[in-house]
Amino acid sequence: MLKKFNIKNNVLVDTKDNLGELMIFSDPTPEEKKYLTNTFQLDDHTLNSALDPEELSRLEFEPEHIALIFKRPRNFSGKDQLFFKVASMGMFLFKDRLVVVISEDIPLLTGKRFGVVQSLKDVFLKIIYNSISHYIEHLKVINMISDEIEKKISTSLENKYLLNLFSLEKSLVYYSNAISSNGFVFEKLKNHSSRIGFDERLLEMLEDITVENSQCLRQTDIYSNILASLMDARASVVNNNLNMLMKTLNLIAICIMLPALVVSFFSMNVKIPFQGYPYAFWIIVGLAVVSIAVTVGVWYRKKW
């Protein structure tokens, strides 16, 4: 899918021009890929890297454009089973055009940052800035889900909650690796800012991006370390819950066994006490109830 925009009065507007100043290709078809390589002379490998989720972030300087491949969080879906994924994204900055290639159709130009745009380089940096904000939002969601699972796991014996925690921990590892990879590229962008043509305002924005990315990385590492350190404790909680359940079942079994033992004594085919007594039945029932009461009393007193 192709979307085209032009900058008019510092605002991005849709355009029907053959070549918009900003062109966004979402999950490009083979025909669109061929169009990109033929029209803009994009390298096939670099173009495919923009769609490969396993590709590392990198910055390349071509004769006619700058190619940036960086990692962004994918939109979360319920079918992912609490596994937050990352994907690659490619931006190709020409002198008078910005081409964006992504693997899925997502809103890239949302938020107050795009209320006013002054140039294509401005759009270039703001798309990067939005991706970092997307990471931070996902981290907040991961933390909320982790807290919710922690409440449920304290009373549950099901494995699914532990498996959900493993998925969250795995997601944080992927996020940490992706954000760290982006950080090296952003540092390279800053080092080559004069070559790219960033003015003082854009350089200040790039500095903010670098700082925000570093803070996002630290937050990801903190969440990952906390989640990893608490996994054993939460597994111990599940084991303790199982032990408490087994103890309760043992108490119930003993409470059932003792009355059965009392009744079995009076069921023997021999001469027994109270054999001719008219209230023998109620005496036996009373002894059975007393045996239950004594068992529960001892259990309660010993705080077992």
Residues 280-293 have pLDDT tens digits of 777 777 877 887 78
Helix axes 120-153, 160-191, angle to 10 degrees: 160
Per cent of the chain over pLDDT 90 is 34
Give the confidence band of 155 by pLDDT, cuts at 50, 70, 90: low
- The full set of domain ranges for the chain reads 2-240, 266-302
Residues 66-93 have pLDDT tens digits of 999 999 998 877 666 788 889 999 999 9
Task: Check residue 163 and give its pLDDT.
Answer: 81
Top CATH class of 2-240 equals: alpha beta
At residue 2, does pLDDT exceed 80?
A: yes
Residues 203-248 have pLDDT tens digits of 999 999 999 999 999 999 998 888 877 766 666 766 777 777 787 7
Could you tell me which residues come within 8 angstroms of residue 26 by beta carbon, excluding any fewer than 6 positions away?
A: 1, 2, 3, 102, 103, 104, 105, 106
Instruction: Residue 93: name the closest of 123, 113, 70, 116 by CA.
Output: 123
Q: Which of 139-153, 206-220, 248-262 has the lowest mean pLDDT?
A: 248-262
Could you tell me which residues come within 8 angstroms of residue 84 by beta carbon, excluding any fewer than 6 positions away?
A: 73, 74, 76, 138, 142, 168, 171, 174, 175
Cβ atoms < 10 Å from Cβ of 208? 13
Q: Which residue has the higher pLDDT, 64 or 250?
A: 64
Residues 125-145: what's their mean pLDDT?
92
Cβ atoms < 10 Å from Cβ of 206? 22
Phi then psi dihedrals of residue 37, to 5 deg: -70, -35
At residue 25, does pLDDT exceed 70?
A: yes
Q: Is 103 helix (H, G, I), strand (E, B) or coil?
A: coil
